[in-house]
Chain A
Amino acid sequence: MLSKLRTLCLKGIDGREVSAEVYIAPGLPAYTVVGLPDAAVKEAKDRVVAAVRNSGYEFPSKRITVNLAPAEIKKAGTHFDLPIALGVLGASGKLGKKPPARLADTFFIGELALDGAIRPVAGVLPMLLALKGSGKTAIVPFGNSAEAAVSGVTCLAASTLKEAAAWLTGELELNPCLPAPDQKPVSACAPDFSEVKGQAFAKRALEIAAAGFHNVIMVGPPGAGKSMLARRFGALLPPMTFDESLETTKLYSVSGLGLTGRLVRERPFREPHHTISDAALIGGGSSPRPGEVSLAHNGVLFLDEFPEFSRPAIEALREPLEAWRVTVSRVKESVAYPARFLMVAAMNPCPCGYLGHPTRECACTPLQVHKYRAKVSGPILDRIDLHVQLSAVKFADWEALPKGEPSAVIAGRVLKAIEIQRKRFSGETRANAFMAGAELRRHCALPEGASAVLETAMNKLGFSARSLDKILKISRTIADLEGAAAIKREHVIEAVQYRMLDKAAELTAGI
């Protein structure tokens, strides 16, 4: 007898409909799964057998064929257990002589425990979003009910195989999934910018970075406060829009990090260690999973000790920094994950960290310094708009300094600048950092006297032509922070200060 159920699978971060067909034929007992299953799907057999028996049913000792269609999509994950088990029950006549009426418009997702319980799985939200607006129903694990409720699709939560089977035959009604109660973030003890004393230039640079979505690199000796500033940076960014939340939550769900069931409402802050592999950073694996850059989607990717990252990892950042997504290609499939993140990098001025320090002597040779710096030169540096130098804070200064501006005040200015940009751009650009070509020329007209500033910067400080575009973009953001319609000369002058790694003298600084 044949039984057909509907389920879903993931391709990248999008759901696809899949049908699970189970056919039971007379013959020697056998069990085959066809339709490009991966190892976890093949293992479903043993879980299904145990779950069916432990739910009080008899497992048919016949020839069972399970087909997952369409066959060209690679099927990964454990959530096929439930549809397969129900298919076996259906095909062996345990759900009535005719296929139950509820079977037609229902999708099933769930991993089975050996005792017949249904376990939560990863990727529920993106899978369900494929059903949005179709009016279909989905049965999801009880543990995923909060996450499923976010999708806006009618979902029912089942906690055991027996419950799901009873619902199909109409013996039992299941509870609809409810969203988790919204939790306000505990902001009272969240790190705040006012705790960082001094470092006025770095704070200003981060404010500009947040306002125009510019990538930023901080250069400074150990203890200057680079990490401290970076960890407080998220507070400057505007709250996430619903679409942004949904996109980020989908990525978290695919990675199995979304099981708390809430929408990600706070911008992600990812801080991978510098020993991370390139695959872990941008995404990969034999069945691809999003990497750190995608988990930082719509948020902040903080790379501390930037030159210590492996060269493949640094080079791998080029694609997401350019295209705002990552394409992971494998033999059987190729998927794309979005990765529109704001990169905050931090590095020491030299391997020992004390080059140019007012009181400590640097122990590095010029060659070491050169090699260290060369790791962040070229194409990567080209994608970082703001460079800012931090210096060690003296104790006397530190003690005497007043508290800085609180994050909320800075965030207010940032939000205004972002609103100006929302009006300015339509479509993909969204922020000043993404301006290119024609847009740059249209929105960044040089004011009078500013071309002389740029010329001096090129001649005296050794700036190259490629830094000029960056200076223009930064000037635009500075003008937006001020609410100025046109860029002024002083905006350009300030912008020049945030391109310190372009200065010719900087290459030989202190050597």
Chain B
Amino acid sequence: MGADAGEEKLARVRLNFFACHKSDWLLRLIELYGGAAELLKRPPAELAAEGGVMLDTALRLAAQTAEANPEKEMLAANRAGIAVLTALDEGYPELLKKIYDPPLVLYVRGQLKPLPAAGIVGTRKATPYGLRTAGRLARELAEAGVAVASGLARGIDTAAHQAAVEAGGVTWAALGAGLNCIYPEENKKLAAKITDSGGALISEFPLDKGPLPANFPRRNRVISGLSLATVVVEGGFESGALITARFALDQGREVLAVPGQVDCPVGRGPNFLIKNGAYPAECGNDIISCFPPEALFGLKLAAPKQAAGPSDAALKELSPDALLAYKAIAGDERGLSADEVTLRLEWQVQRAAAALFELETSSLVLSRGGRYCRAI
């Protein structure tokens, strides 16, 4: 990399400190002036006159970029083992370059392997059905060798990352904050697991930027931009998941949706997408079959699987009591509380406690807010 390229990269990192909702006009200006370094040299009045920018925006840009310290930022990233990529660098994902406003700078912790990727997005307030389906799709994609992209939020995102990591696959998390501010707090462990298992944490925001609400829609375009196809698992009409789906469509990528429960508010988003022509996604193969043929090269394709629940072998390992309890729990879509288990089976508390402990630690059942639901 020559001195000019180095200067240009620093200029782009500096320019990236300017917070705005859309960056496509910045890219146009960079093109116009032949580089971010040139752009930053122009006085705001000239930017306003030639670049078609409002004067106050140009003034803000000048002020915010002047405050920034890109050298310090690069040094900090370097120390933390974070790669800083611009569109000029080789590691910058090809697919992301093609969207109409790719991030000026990508901060990447971990590896961005050149894999075909699919995005799995959904609500934070997921139902057991959503969590379990997101997990299953992510697992099947990971096993096939597809990278699972999502946003590290609570609910569906977490389930997708978790399942991909557990299946030994690659998963990418695009964050709505700088890489020094993992949000939400409780997903820090998961974030570490993602990088340890060959995946990556990706953010376009400067390292110390907090999780501002405005960041998240921008983050969503990165998830869909990294992916060949985006699957919406659960979400309401106004959800971030639908924003991601719209980005995917704008970027010319496939949109799939997991059919939602019709009596559930979070089932409305995906069902709306299906009514408007999105493919329904039942299993990982449904997603992979939407990929362009050249992306299928090297993937380990398995026969299409139906949602079958846990394997017989897993059930055979259970004690007779635990199996009875599992059948009762699996038979109720909303799951059962511990008390309901004792009522259904007419058991004493002690007996139910032992069966529930066995199920919970076998990962066949998950407990959320006191209700036990089928996990697979």
Contacting residues of chain A (242-271) with chain B, CB-CB under 8 angstroms: none
Interface residue B207 (Cβ < 8 Å from any Cβ of A): no
Contact status B265-A511, CB under 8 Å = no
Digit string of B164-189 for contact with A (CB within 8 Å is 1, else 0)?
Answer: 00000000000000000000101000
Contact status A200-B125, CB under 8 Å = no
Interface residue A106 (Cβ < 8 Å from any Cβ of B): no
Interface residue B289 (Cβ < 8 Å from any Cβ of A): no
Interface residue A371 (Cβ < 8 Å from any Cβ of B): no
Digit string of A350-376 for contact with B (CB within 8 Å is 1, else 0)?
Answer: 000001101001100010000000000
Partner of A391, one of B337, B349, B356: B337
Contact status A391-B371, CB under 8 Å = yes
Contact status B369-A497, CB under 8 Å = no
Digit string of B357-371 for contact with A (CB within 8 Å is 1, else 0)?
Answer: 100110100111111
- With a cutoff of 8 Å between Cβ atoms, the chain A residues found around residue B184 in the complex are 366, 508
Interface residue B71 (Cβ < 8 Å from any Cβ of A): no
Spot the interface stretch: A12-20, A84-92, A454-462: A454-462
Partner of A389, one of B334, B337, B349: B337
- With a cutoff of 8 Å between Cβ atoms, the chain A residues found around residue B361 in the complex are 456-457, 460-461
Name the CB-closest residue of A to B264: A361
Digit string of A296-322 for contact with B (CB within 8 Å is 1, else 0)?
Answer: 000000000000000000000000000
Contact status A494-B369, CB under 8 Å = no
Contacting residues of chain B (316-351) with chain A, CB-CB under 8 angstroms: 334-335, 337-340, 342-343, 349-350
Interface centre among A201, A204, A361, by most B CB within 10 Å?
A: A201
Cα A125 to Cα B185 in complex, Å, equals: 56
Cα A505 to Cα B342 in complex, Å, equals: 22
Contact status A366-B369, CB under 8 Å = no
User: Given A198-B343, A494-B350, A497-B357, is A509 in contact with B363 using a C-beta cutoff of 8 Å?
Assistant: no
- With a cutoff of 8 Å between Cβ atoms, the chain A residues found around residue B124 in the complex are 366, 511
Contact status A497-B343, CB under 8 Å = no
Whole-angstrom distance between the Cβ of A362 and the nearest chain B Cβ = 8
Name the CB-closest residue of B to A208: B349
- With a cutoff of 8 Å between Cβ atoms, the chain A residues found around residue B354 in the complex are 490, 493-494
Cα A38 to Cα B367 in complex, Å, equals: 59
Name the CB-closest residue of A to B337: A391
Contacting residues of chain B (123-153) with chain A, CB-CB under 8 angstroms: 124-125
Cα A362 to Cα B126 in complex, Å, equals: 12
Interface residue B315 (Cβ < 8 Å from any Cβ of A): no
Contact status A494-B368, CB under 8 Å = no
Contact status B186-A509, CB under 8 Å = no
Cα A219 to Cα B368 in complex, Å, equals: 13
Contact status B353-A497, CB under 8 Å = yes
- With a cutoff of 8 Å between Cβ atoms, the chain A residues found around residue B280 in the complex are none
Cα A509 to Cα B361 in complex, Å, equals: 17
Interface residue B209 (Cβ < 8 Å from any Cβ of A): no
Contact status B338-A358, CB under 8 Å = no
Name the CB-closest residue of B to A203: B349
Contacting residues of chain A (393-424) with chain B, CB-CB under 8 angstroms: 393, 397, 401
Contact status B334-A511, CB under 8 Å = no
Whole-angstrom distance between the Cβ of B181 and the nearest chain A Cβ = 15
Contact status A397-B338, CB under 8 Å = no
Cα A493 to Cα B350 in complex, Å, equals: 9
Partner of B342, one of A200, A456, A490, A510: A200
- With a cutoff of 8 Å between Cβ atoms, the chain B residues found around residue A349 in the complex are 369-370
- With a cutoff of 8 Å between Cβ atoms, the chain B residues found around residue A493 in the complex are 353-354, 357
- With a cutoff of 8 Å between Cβ atoms, the chain A residues found around residue B340 in the complex are 391, 397
Interface residue B154 (Cβ < 8 Å from any Cβ of A): yes
- With a cutoff of 8 Å between Cβ atoms, the chain B residues found around residue A355 in the complex are 369
Interface residue B199 (Cβ < 8 Å from any Cβ of A): no
Name the CB-closest residue of A to B370: A389
Whole-angstrom distance between the Cβ of A34 and the nearest chain B Cβ = 62
The 9 closest A-B pairs by CB, nearest first: A356-B369, A389-B370, A391-B337, A509-B369, A204-B349, A494-B353, A510-B369, A497-B353, A460-B361
Show the binding face of A for B, using Cβ within 8 Å: 198-202, 204, 219-220, 349, 355-356, 358, 361-362, 366, 389-391, 393, 397, 401, 453, 456-457, 460-461, 490, 493-494, 496-497, 500, 503-511
Apart from A358-B371, A390-B370, A509-B368: 13 A-B pairs, beta carbons within 8 A: A200-B352, A202-B339, A366-B184, A390-B339, A391-B337, A391-B339, A457-B357, A494-B349, A496-B357, A497-B338, A500-B370, A509-B370, A510-B125
